[in-house]
Structure 1
Amino acid sequence: MRQKIVRLTLVGGVVFLALLLLLATCGGDPGGEGKNGAATGTAEPVEPPGAGPVTRLTVPPQYATDRGWEIIGASPDVAVSHTAGLLAYLERSKDGRYRLRTVDTATGELGWRGRAWTQPDPSHYPKLAAVAKGDRQYFVTWSYGKVGDGLSPSSTFIALDLYDVTNGNRQRVEVPWSGAPDVHTTGPDIVISDGKANSTLVDPVTGEVSELPADKLKYPKGCTACKQLTEVHGQTPDGLLLGGAREFWVSDGWFSRNVAPKGADRGSGVVTSATPGQVLAKWAPAKRTKRAATHELWAVHDAASGEVLTSVECHKPAIKPGRYPQAVLSPSGAYLIAGNLAFDLEAKQGRCFEDEEGAAHLTLATVTDDGLAYGAENARDASEALAGGGIPVVMDFATWSTERLSRNARLPGTETTGVGVFRWTDRQDRAHLIGYPRAG
């Protein structure tokens, strides 16, 4: 089933329709609106945000704090287009509306901006990410909520706004949905799932929506575990990435049993995370081997073919984590990190950072194209490391060694065009985004 755009089923007549139109078009821009929702008058960059002295934070020595740019009042989530050199963020006005804005990370100049709009749930910032399909890239915001007039039943839906990275042209897609959604933006489509086997795909280029219910899924022959706890993990160029209690596969594509890393139990693979081009999976060593009871294999697979790009062995944790670490890719795709794991994809090498007893004390959070990864010792996860928890460290892929940073050093949340982006909250509880260029 495909259609150009999904709209909510009308329940309650004219009043309900009016509410929908208000949600879709509310806001306007005093300065006027351009084609497809991009704000007019934004092709020419304006003054750098936070023009004047930039707040000087304690950061890793690889960055210069005597110059850069600063934004005050940005959203918790940001998205980056490394090809365009743009960072997108949301700002919220006093009347509860939101606007997507962009900044050129290399210069600090403001780029295009979207028009102001109201989301279904105004109490929280919408989520924000980037998604690419072919050679086109989009910033996407989404929020989940309900609409109703108090007389007719409320209907819940996901509102997505898709912005062309090059010019800010915007289209809205509304998808009826019940229950909290899982949204995957590894591309090429935006995948919405219920945390299980039901999913809906949104084409970021056309806005077309495809429903893929669980009863339409195809399972690999002979894989009984695939039908247990089936879950959608995202999408690859050939189809949905799916996993069961054990083993995983791509619909109309490859099957994990056929691409298992050397030394692994071929029927044990579990997807833990995915990036636009890679799948990170955990495997058990082959049965009846010496390390089968004490260790696990972690492998990075090519999302298109399933081929193992590199793998590494780690001790099993004493307590199974409630949530696996999310894979983070460097801008060029040369390096990948996830928790205490680090992979050099070009050199086809990996490292598991743990002590002799197998305890993992290091969590990596950010990785850059110059072969450096930033994280913290004794932090529970990447979010805690970026928020200042633990002892900050930098890991160098050239030597696979770590070095402690200043105890109060802040870590970059991301880096692009040679500029590290740092987050800081002032005494007035205002969020700041600060871009510092690399030193030297």
Structure 2
Amino acid sequence: MRLKFGRLTPVSSGSKRQRVVRLALVGGLVVLTLLLLLSAGGGDSGNKKADPKPKKPVKRSAGPATQLTVPSTYTTRRGWELIGTSPDYALSRTTGRLAYLVRTAQGEYQLRTIDPETGRAGWSGDAWRPPAAAHFPKLLTVTTEDQEYFVTWAYGKVGEDAPAPADRIVSLDVYSVETGDRQRVEVPWRSVPTVIATGPGIVIGDGGTSSVVVDPGTGRVTKVPAKALKYPKDCASCKHLTEVRGLTSKGLLVSGAREFWVQGGWFSRKVAPKGADKRSGVPTSVAPGVVLAKWQLTKGSKLAATHELWTVHDTETGKALVSVQCHKPAIAPGQYPQAVVSSSGDYLVAGNLAFDLEAGKGFCFEDTEGSKTLVLASVTDGGTAYGATNVRNAADVLAGGGFPVEADLSAGVTDMLSPNVRVPGAESPEGVGLFRWADDKDRLHLIGYPQAD
């Protein structure tokens, strides 16, 4: 929903003419007194003399103090601004609520929420001191059984004098998005963890085959040993470079060197998209409900030597939702871009790839020689994606690097924006763009600019 504000126009009061009644002096004290009273009072009983000057018009809000240059879709004349917040923030898909972290004067951390549409504060959690307290905890969202949660997590020693790597934990604080009710879960963990909250649970992994699953509703922790990953038959590559990638309602999503599967569920070889080599699937990024995978084209096909097939799969069924072909890179990237999904779940972007999942369209934004200079960092429910060229990754885009670009995913076209434009990192369901900016004191500002009328 988008609020529209009408322009306030100045209202002026018209001057009232006084009717001066001149009386002839007949004589006597009573008549003289009456004449003086009439001259002072204006003659008309109960009427006040009008201000000859019109009243000043009511001023409209000047918007947030920080006035960034943003795409024309948004207005900076309204909105809100938060100063000194965490690098991470989280948006609730079910309530639209925005969560962020602040550091208190005592060195503790507190989760706070606001309504992005109005900027009004919502519930706040209690302050706490996590392990590795010198750094902001990470902030995620997770949904299970139609219940949504904000999750903060940090990794470190139980106490300042605890030995390493023993006595290290992953500390999770799980908050109900609606009420702010919190429960803490602490999981002993000996190595640097990966924490995945694409749903329907929270997966803590080591980047390999060791993992645990945390139920955000109950806090129950379930350890999943490597032997329980249920490797598919006749898949030698599945046992090389094995990595737990996420969770579905049927079990863990796992990848090998070239193929991937769901524990006891579907197998990539059996859900390969049309035109792909069925034994070549590599999942590059997982987002709520979907996985983005890279496939080699069928051997002998016209573009097999120069192109790859990129496909978005449904994580519950493995079904290929939409695909697009793109040039192979000259050098394989060390890390693939993280997929970003719009609040509605209808659009997905990753690097120079974009997908309209509702319409079944895929786009690879590159020049005719296969140059992939564009990196898309965010996408709105209206199908507009934002990014920049000449950058390494999405973090560079959101920090103001490169040359900003706007992409229309309904038409599959891009437009260059002015070089000084900052692009949003996300857009709330109500159409409020979220922008990041660091001031000269290295304080992070989170700014909400609504869509222009």
TM-score for the superposition, normalised by structure 1: 0.87
1:380 aligns with 2:388: no
Matched residue type, 1:397: L
* Equivalence for 2:442: 429
- 2:90 maps to which of 79, 92, 112: 79
Structure with larger RCO (C-alpha < 8 A, sep 6+): 1
Q: CA deviation at 1:394?
A: 0.4
Matched residue type, 2:80: W
SS in 2 for 1:409: coil
1:98 aligns with 2:109: yes
Identical pairs, percent: 60
Matched residue type, 1:259: V
SS in 1 for 2:82: strand
Instruction: Structure 1 unaligned segments of length 5 or more: list them.
Output: 1-49
**CA deviation digits over 1:246-293, x for unaligned, max 9?**
110001210000000111000000010111111100000111223222
SS in 2 for 1:75: strand
Counterparts of 1:404 and 1:357, CA distance in 2: 20
Q: CA deviation at 1:53?
A: 4.6
- 1:283 maps to which of 286, 295, 318: 295
- 2:322 maps to which of 310, 313, 317: 310
Contact 1:102 1:110 in 2 (8 A): yes
* Equivalence for 1:141: 152
1:192 aligns with 2:235: no
Q: CA deviation at 1:238?
A: 1.3
In structure 2, the CA distance between the partners of 1:270 and 1:118, relative to structure 1 (3 Å rule), is same
Counterparts of 1:228 and 1:261, CA distance in 2: 23
Counterparts of 1:223 and 1:217, CA distance in 2: 13
SS in 2 for 1:320: coil
* Equivalence for 2:126: 115
Contact 2:64 2:447 in 1 (8 A): no
Contact 1:363 1:376 in 2 (8 A): yes
Q: CA deviation at 1:119?
A: 0.8
SS in 2 for 1:234: strand
* Equivalence for 1:410: 422
Pairwise CA RMSD of aligned residues? Answer: 1.5
1:256 aligns with 2:268: yes
Segments of 4+ moved more than 2 angstroms:
50-54, 147-154
TM-score for the superposition, normalised by structure 2: 0.84
In structure 2, the CA distance between the partners of 1:51 and 1:189, relative to structure 1 (3 Å rule), is farther
* Equivalence for 1:47: none
In structure 2, the CA distance between the partners of 1:167 and 1:216, relative to structure 1 (3 Å rule), is same
Contact 2:314 2:320 in 1 (8 A): yes
Counterparts of 2:146 and 2:88, CA distance in 1: 24
Q: CA deviation at 1:383?
A: 0.8
SS in 1 for 2:253: strand
Counterparts of 2:447 and 2:372, CA distance in 1: 31
SS in 2 for 1:167: coil
* Equivalence for 2:359: 347
Q: CA deviation at 1:54?
A: 3.3
Pairing 1:32-431 to 2, within 5 Å after superposition? 53-148=64-159, 150=161, 154-416=166-428, 417-431=430-444
Q: CA deviation at 1:419?
A: 0.3
Q: After alignment, is 211-220 or 344-353 more displaced?
A: 211-220
SS in 1 for 2:86: coil
Counterparts of 1:53 and 1:292, CA distance in 2: 52
Larger radius of gyration: 2
Matched residue type, 1:423: R
**CA deviation digits over 1:65-86, x for unaligned, max 9?**
0000111111000011022111
**CA deviation digits over 1:224-247, x for unaligned, max 9?**
111111100101121100010111
Counterparts of 1:151 and 1:296, CA distance in 2: 49
Counterparts of 1:103 and 1:90, CA distance in 2: 11
Q: CA deviation at 1:94?
A: 2.7
Contact 2:424 2:433 in 1 (8 A): yes
* Equivalence for 1:38: none
Q: After alignment, is 71-80 or 51-60 more displaced?
A: 51-60
Contact 1:54 1:67 in 2 (8 A): no
Counterparts of 1:151 and 1:254, CA distance in 2: 43
Instruction: Structure 2 unaligned segments of length 5 or more: list them.
Output: 1-60
Counterparts of 1:152 and 1:315, CA distance in 2: 49
**CA deviation digits over 1:191-220, x for unaligned, max 9?**
000000110000000000000011222111
Contact 1:353 1:362 in 2 (8 A): yes
In structure 2, the CA distance between the partners of 1:148 and 1:54, relative to structure 1 (3 Å rule), is closer
**CA deviation digits over 1:4-32, x for unaligned, max 9?**
xxxxxxxxxxxxxxxxxxxxxxxxxxxxx
Counterparts of 2:158 and 2:394, CA distance in 1: 35
